[in-house]
Structure 1
């Protein structure tokens, strides 16, 4: 895959799994009593932390797999199953329990560090995002491809930052129903991505046994 195609593939994959619109509803609920300045401060800190976590796993993904003796294709299958479960929850407009439960969201209302939990992690960089980042980085054919993944991560979280900065305007424009529609569409694309991960992983494992 050429660099441009891999960049588009990485960006779409990360954007779908991070799902800024999906984060938007919970973010508005958690910051509803804050001033605009306080809300933007929370948004900036949360996005920076989430981006740093994603970049960490992008850089160290290969080492982590080697340490645990896990192959990329094995992670593709396991990660694909996880992503499909998250996608299924998104299509049903449910909060994915792989990321955060409804109870944890309610308990976060009175906490001051909501930018760490639940916004940065696990909502933006939950198990699904981390798995996707490691897979994209581990599938890179060269240093340039790895740089493309890093660029896709940075751009994804820049989009997240602007989405959270203008969250109230976006929500006012598209409404609750609009956010659910977008979330379900992203869930559909995520399900397709999950199936792609699973089929590639299973096929590579199968052909590896034959060789």
Structure 2
């Protein structure tokens, strides 16, 4: 019995960590991060990375913890959020599979306008590049999908681990970009887009089926 519980929790941890990591997709944001910090020294770039990742992680944790309260406040069913979030994620995934920066995250105009600003760690890096509507809807749906306390803790740990990885990716962004190369970044972005599309379809189909069953 204990072995089954441990096995189930390990499987759940892998699922949640993979889901959150794919949605945040820190590697795909490397090019944008480098563009926004190109005129900065290494120290300034690292400071921006630490601040933006900390903010993004705090936002994700906040919505994970308060998600049920927000849904109840607006009388939104979690399955409706699954469908809406799934459609949003599929839109992001479609852009990623075409190696584009999703307009849900940040537009070309916002990148250009942010070049001279000092608070880019808040907008657009922290929000919405790292923690946008897609990430927020995903963590809320994950938290609402289980009633077990240990699995909710696993989700929170997965969020923190994802942003720890994200921090190191941004700290070593220039080296990663130099090592992988532009073509490597495109291949990785397309791969993440494919995985994200699969997650989006799963969320949408599950939401539709649950809504249909609720009506009958």
Scaled by the length of structure 1, what TM-score is found? 0.97
Tell me the distance in 1 between the aligned counterparts of 2:190 and 2:14: 21
Q: Can you list the C-alpha shifts for 1:106-136, whole angstroms capped at 9, x where unaligned?
A: 1000000011111100000001010101111
Find the counterpart in structure 1 of residue 117 from structure 2. Answer: 111
2:107 to 101, 109, 121: 101
Tell me the distance in 2 between the aligned counterparts of 1:176 and 1:100: 19
Find the counterpart in structure 2 of residue 125 from structure 1. Answer: 131
Deviates more, 1:96-105 or 1:56-65: 96-105
Scaled by the length of structure 2, what TM-score is found? 0.95
Find the counterpart in structure 2 of residue 11 from structure 1. Answer: 17
Find the counterpart in structure 1 of residue 85 from structure 2. Answer: 79
1:49 to 39, 45, 55: 55
Tell me the distance in 2 between the aligned counterparts of 1:98 and 1:165: 24
After the TM superposition, which segments of 4 or more aligned residues of structure 1 sit over 3 Å from their partners?
A: none
The 5 Å alignment of 1:1-211 reads: 2-210=8-216
Tell me the distance in 1 between the aligned counterparts of 2:150 and 2:54: 24
Tell me the distance in 2 between the aligned counterparts of 1:12 and 1:110: 35
Tell me the distance in 1 between the aligned counterparts of 2:211 and 2:35: 44
How far off is 1:96 after superposition? 1.1
Tell me the distance in 1 between the aligned counterparts of 2:215 and 2:47: 52
Give secondary structure in 2 for the equivalent of 1:112: coil
How far off is 1:3 after superposition? 1.5
Tell me the distance in 2 between the aligned counterparts of 1:79 and 1:154: 21
Tell me the distance in 1 between the aligned counterparts of 2:9 and 2:71: 24
Tell me the distance in 1 between the aligned counterparts of 2:115 and 2:182: 20
Give me the CA root mean square deviation.
1.0
